[in-house]
Chain A
Amino acid sequence: MTPLTALLSIMFFPAGLTLILSGMLYEWADRKLVARFQNRIGPRWFQPLADTIKLLTKEEIKPQGLNYILFYGLPIVALTGALTAALYAPVLGLPPIYSFPGDLIVTLYLLSLLTMCTGLAGWNGSSRFSVIGATRSFTQLFAYEAPFLLALLGPAMAANSWVIKDVGVYAQTHWMIFTQPVGFIIALIGLMGKLELPPFDAPEAETEIVAGALTEYSGRGLALFHIGKSVELVVAISLVTAFYLGGIGNPFLFLLKTSVILLMMAMLQSILTRLRIDQTVGMWWRFGALLALLQFLVMVLLKGWLA
């Protein structure tokens, strides 16, 4: 791969512009579905785009008493992390353009970077709401990260590889939603936790702590965090789809499968209420982590027995 094609792939396809635009479309679909579940009409299709452009053209207020390197740097790092993760993920069902042994772990860490940056941004803030939001973000991160990791390690284990591409190819013939249903459910709910969607939106509970960690951000910083989140939505959904619902393959079928996952997420979002932070942590460690571990154990034993 020459430097020019690498640059093009980062700027336009599959990362960069395409990914940002498709992230906005996914975000719109999610909001529209939730609205339809609540018997509303819902936002227009360009709503996330208008929100983002508006935020980018607004004034960026500089609060007093912060570390300005962190204040300006964190949104950029968050977005970069999410976009870099896209290089290793099977976006749109196409094989990832880069892959190396162990890229699954790297991708998962890159996906957590957004939450880490949000938390740090809140911690850096001088407002009490952002500090409480940051604490909740971090607490929740520790809750769902391990079960989510275990849920994605299951398919990797079955495929005998740590490379996303290989797992995707293996999954073409093995639909792991049937062989590992527990893992799929944990991955789906972990996805909602990762994106801080209801019922896991305690870190940005607007009725209690205004807007959580991002309370002090306005204009550009907020826009970058928003874009980062919608990019992460695409990347994480593609990962779960590729691992559990038939691997990498036909883009149209893949799009359909991601829409099914989005539909399920929207349904869960609209029927569940927000969990308290201790309930979130308790649920993940008491049920999520244990179930994931149990499935993992069964797989290890089966593998040993079959071999």
Chain B
Amino acid sequence: MNISQNYVDQIIQKISTWARVNSPWAIHFNSGSCNGCDIEILATLTPHYDVERFGIKLRGSPRHADVLICTGPVTRQARDRLMRIYEQMPEPKFVIAVGSCGISGGVFQGCYNVEGHIDEVLPVDAFIPGCPPRPEAIIDGVIKLLTHIQNGTRPALVIKPGIKEAV
């Protein structure tokens, strides 16, 4: 009885992980970025890069989303909003920080109105470096996050996308 129960649990776990990996719905929040990263994220969503083939979909409501894509440093004003949006998302949820500013504060480091980088406010699962990162890098970062969800491991601290420069 106990063993079969365990078995059923494992199967359910497998199915839900499979579903989670194959349908990450994202929400995008700008907590103080210069807009460069946001434009790259929008470029990622255009038909040219077609992220729907991985099941990625941009949703407006945090209640529907699984992945919070943050850009930019966290300003004092945006801090509360960022945390509130994160708390409105249902479990299980993941955070991706896009751009150098999200990783370290970037060029905004030490500004009077900047609180710090995103990792100081939220538990970030994947960092995508670049100023701004190319759409290929963003897709690569998301896919790496998905592989880690699949394997059940937390991603390493910094994900370095090894993209070849498209000519």
* Contacts from A to B (Cβ < 8 Å): 31, 35, 38-44, 46-47, 49-54, 57-61, 129, 206-207, 210-211, 214-219, 222
Digit string of B24-60 for contact with A (CB within 8 Å is 1, else 0)?
Answer: 0100000000000000000000010010110100011
Measured between beta carbons, the chain B residues less than 8 angstroms from A44 are: 22, 53, 55
> Cβ of B60 and Cβ of A43 under 8 Å apart?
no
Q: A40-B47, A43-B53 are in contact. Are A218 and B22 (CB under 8 A)?
A: no
Cα distance, A58 to B94, chains bound together (Å): 13
> Cβ of A218 and Cβ of B50 under 8 Å apart?
no
Q: A40-B47, A50-B19, A54-B19 are in contact. Are A216 and B63 (CB under 8 A)?
A: yes
Chain A nearest Cβ from B21, distance in angstroms: 8
Chain A nearest Cβ from B86, distance in angstroms: 13
Residue B104 is within 8 A (CB to CB) of chain A in the complex: no
Tell me the residues in window 78-92 of chain B with beta carbons closer than 8 Å to chain A beta carbons: 88, 90-92
Residue B18 is within 8 A (CB to CB) of chain A in the complex: yes
> Cβ of A206 and Cβ of B47 under 8 Å apart?
no
In this complex, the interface size class of chain B, counting residues with CB under 8 Å from chain A, is 20 to 34
> Cβ of B22 and Cβ of A217 under 8 Å apart?
no
Measured between beta carbons, the chain B residues less than 8 angstroms from A218 are: 63-64, 90
Measured between beta carbons, the chain B residues less than 8 angstroms from A216 are: 61, 63
> Cβ of B63 and Cβ of A35 under 8 Å apart?
no
Chain B nearest Cβ from A196, distance in angstroms: 15
The interface centre, meaning the residue of B22, B61, B91 with most chain A CB atoms within 10 A of its CB, is B61
Q: A41-B53, A44-B55, A216-B61 are in contact. List 10 more A-B contacts (CB 8 A).
A: A40-B47, A40-B50, A43-B55, A50-B19, A54-B20, A54-B66, A60-B90, A61-B63, A219-B90, A222-B64
Contact partner of A50 (CB less than 8 A), chosen from B18, B47, B53, is: B18
Cα distance, A59 to B88, chains bound together (Å): 11
Measured between beta carbons, the chain B residues less than 8 angstroms from A214 are: 61
Residue B23 is within 8 A (CB to CB) of chain A in the complex: yes
> Cβ of B53 and Cβ of A210 under 8 Å apart?
no
Cα distance, A54 to B25, chains bound together (Å): 10
Q: List the 9 shortest-distance A-B pairs measured between CB atoms, nearest first.
A: A53-B19, A50-B22, A59-B90, A210-B60, A218-B63, A54-B19, A57-B16, A40-B50, A59-B91
> Cβ of B53 and Cβ of A215 under 8 Å apart?
no
- Chain A facing B: main interface SS: loop
* Contacts from B to A (Cβ < 8 Å): 15-16, 18-20, 22-23, 25, 47, 50, 52-53, 55, 59-61, 63-64, 66, 88, 90-92
> Cβ of B15 and Cβ of A42 under 8 Å apart?
no
Contact partner of B19 (CB less than 8 A), chosen from A40, A57, A60, is: A57
Chain A nearest Cβ from B59, distance in angstroms: 7
> Cβ of A211 and Cβ of B60 under 8 Å apart?
yes
Q: A40-B47, A53-B15, A59-B91 are in contact. Are A211 and B64 (CB under 8 A)?
A: yes
Q: A53-B15, A61-B90, A218-B63 are in contact. Are A35 and B50 (CB under 8 A)?
A: yes
Cα distance, A54 to B66, chains bound together (Å): 10
The interface centre, meaning the residue of B23, B47, B92 with most chain A CB atoms within 10 A of its CB, is B23
Contact partner of B63 (CB less than 8 A), chosen from A40, A57, A215, is: A215
The interface centre, meaning the residue of A52, A61, A129, A219 with most chain B CB atoms within 10 A of its CB, is A61
